[in-house]
Structure 1
């Protein structure tokens, strides 16, 4: 999002780190630390497999509501973001004791609520003060916070579980609070747009290519659910490899997620965001589909690395593509907010659907078949959107 002045590096680096921390706490920990905790919660007898799966879906449901309301917080991001991060940390501490199922559902919903709002407001707030020449890389660094959360939780949780499931929950919450405090002062000053500017931007026509892009983003969200929610359980219980093996592959998944956004961002700088998105979708079809034909170490490596890189890597690609379609900062914020809402809808719908399917079948491969089909659909829709955009550009040029 363009800004009239180019701030000095000492100003934009703290902002990028603050937004990275928001992704780390609000998404990386709040959502993905639950994945290696899932089989441990089941093994400890806190909840059965069906109930534990629904806790993951509750987080995604909260994410949807947070994404819907998040845009209203955008003008006050520097004040609201760290508060949301602290609330997220609190949700882990609240789950450190085996209380009734409804208690956990409520707090997992709250953690999704804060995460959805942070996804909407954090990156745009930081990128506003980053010079245009560095925004691609800065965006990749910000969304790498998701991968850091995945990697650190994959490494920490098995060690923490030696002291009990409750200790693991509490320790993750303390980590989230510490990161929040450490980056609190990095948030840039808020620059809210005028009401007239917002009203004018909201009333402009919406390009068909942008509509299709948002649909694609929603389908991507549903297609990622099997890996985000069920990968560790598939390895630990489905393949009988145990929690340690599942957490190890989850750590590989997280390390890949840490570098994935920057890699996809650099690719987009070279070939364009549209082409990079199509290439990434094709990779996902192969990386998820491989589990339908093999579950050996090589297949687990491919699926963990490639899908891991794309879980946070999809966001900077879609955000960058939206910037190509919309040049006004207010319209960019509106489009990104809508994209986050659609993504959360796709995730929530996919999570609830697959939770029901898994409760009835107990078959993880059915879930990965769904993921493969979702990415085939996303790629087809993306190519339709590209054709419409090319046709529109030719018409405008003529």
Structure 2
């Protein structure tokens, strides 16, 4: 009877109450607005921006880079913002900034105006990436944190899918109306999330001997940062070239290329949930190891074959892991630092900064390589596969468990 009572209490401690569910909903809204839409909705808007003569093609690319630069700044300074304002106020402010940026971009007053708001939207995304999960997860039972992180970053995948489905419909009403529509949608989500954030900062338990030892597991943490950076190098080729490869590289046309992007987005919706639950079941370190080799195989498939079904399989895998690696990497941080919420946030900030930096480096580097190798798609995809394979091999040597 006593064992049954203990089991019942354990089950109750692992359950999610309404406050936890509301916090997860707030996290979903934040990742959808500041990352899913603020970053990925811009890609299908580039041709209309050029066609409407708002900006030249080179200016449109520069404005896309502004979001990457802002994302890196947000990843670097998000913790400082939370320390000054508190988690709850900082997250509210960041969502408000991302929402304001959509409305501001409806009025192309100048290149500097647009660049500044794209930078701010990126900053809000980077800071939210650092803060959102580390604000919510300490209030969630440990056994449910993989599921919770999957729900939080479900918004990221939903935003990728929306970029291929919602934007074309909004564009029927004009470019300015599209930006305003995104702003209204973001405003609604900001209001929904407003009271969902935990009112207190994460609890700070006493530091145990186990936590002290985990804190000094620097080799595995540094490996994780390097793996997450390599993951950025592995995913960027598909993010920037997949549609163009299908449309021009193998001559299937823009319509077919767009349909594959929708497939990529649909897979991205389920990525965080699948990966978060997988981490809960088999451990995040092991799940991330498997994720690296599967992504490497998918990138290699794109490099080696132009067959429709092969490309479709690779598209689903890479779409799944584009947002799916986030809960895996975050869960790995929690595995390595299980009792220290402050160090978890610091380590997650470093990991996010590494990803943001190498995402930007990869974007510019691959573009340079692509233009100087006469549009060699296979070479770019092979580089991504090589980066992911190197991360997998390093994991085999360092994380022998």
**Normalising to structure 2: TM-score of the pair?**
0.86
Give the superposition deviation at 1:63: 0.7
Question: 1:128/1:364 Cα in 2 relative to 1: closer, same or farther (>3 Å)?
Answer: farther
- Matched residue SS, 2:140: coil
Candidates 262, 268, 277, aligned match of 1:266: 277
**Does 2:146 correspond to 1:136?**
yes
Once residues 157 and 243 of structure 1 are traced to their aligned partners in structure 2, the CA distance between those partners, rounded to angstroms, is: 16
Q: CA deviation at 1:98?
A: 4.5
- Per the TM alignment, residue 117 of structure 1 is displaced from its structure 2 partner at its CA by 0.3
CA distance, structure 2, for counterparts of residue 97 and residue 296 of structure 1: 43
Does 2:221 match 1:210? yes
- Between 231-240 and 369-378, report the one with greater CA deviation: 231-240
Question: For residues 177-210 of structure 1, what are the alpha-carbon distances to aligned partners after superposition, in whole Å with 9 as ceiling and x for unaligned?
Answer: 211112211111122678x98xx98x96352111
The corresponding residue for 2:392 is: 379
- Aligned residue in 2 for 1:332: 344
Matches within 5 A, 1:6-85: 9-75=17-83, 76-85=86-95
* Cα distance, 1:376 vs structure 2: 1.8
For 2:265 and 2:109, locate their aligned partners in 1 and report how far apart those are by CA, in whole Å.
29
Counterparts of 1:68 and 1:149, CA distance in 2: 23
Report the 3-state secondary structure (helix = DSSP H, G, I; strand = E; otherwise coil) of the residue aligned with 1:384: helix
Aligned equivalents of 2:189 and 2:370: distance in 1? Answer: 35
Say yes or no: does 1:171 pair with 2:181.
Answer: yes
- Summarize the alignment of residues 310-325 of structure 1 with structure 2, pairs less than 5 Å apart: 310-325=321-336
**Is 1:145 equivalent to 2:155 in the alignment?**
yes
Unaligned runs of 5+ in 1: 391-398
- The farther-off stretch of 253-262 and 32-41 is 32-41
Segment of structure 1 superposing worse, 277-286 or 368-377: 368-377
Give, in angstroms, the shift of residue 255 of structure 1. 1.7
CA distance in 2, matches of 1:120, 1:65: 11
Deviation at 1:27, TM superposition (A): 0.8
Once residues 99 and 236 of structure 1 are traced to their aligned partners in structure 2, the CA distance between those partners, rounded to angstroms, is 33
Instruction: Provide the rounded CA distance (Å) in 2 between the counterparts of 1:150 and 1:360.
Output: 29
Which TM-score applies when normalising by structure 1? 0.87
Residue correspondences, number: 382
1:190-269 aligned within 5 A: 190-191=200-201, 205-236=216-247, 238=249, 241=252, 243-269=254-280
**How far apart are the structure 2 equivalents of 1:41 and 1:300?**
29
| Contact preservation (8 Å) 2:44, 2:167 | yes
Contact 2:228 2:355 in 1 (8 A): yes
Distance in 2, Cα, partners of 1:35 & 1:301: 20
Q: Aligned partners of 1:163 and 1:129: how far apart in 2?
A: 43
Q: How does 1:292-371 map to 2 (within 5 A)?
A: 292-328=303-339, 329-360=341-372, 363=375, 365=377, 366-371=379-384
The answer to whether the Cα contact below 8 Å between 2:263 and 2:316 also exists between their aligned partners in 1 is: yes
Contact 2:15/2:141, CA 8 A, preserved across alignment: yes
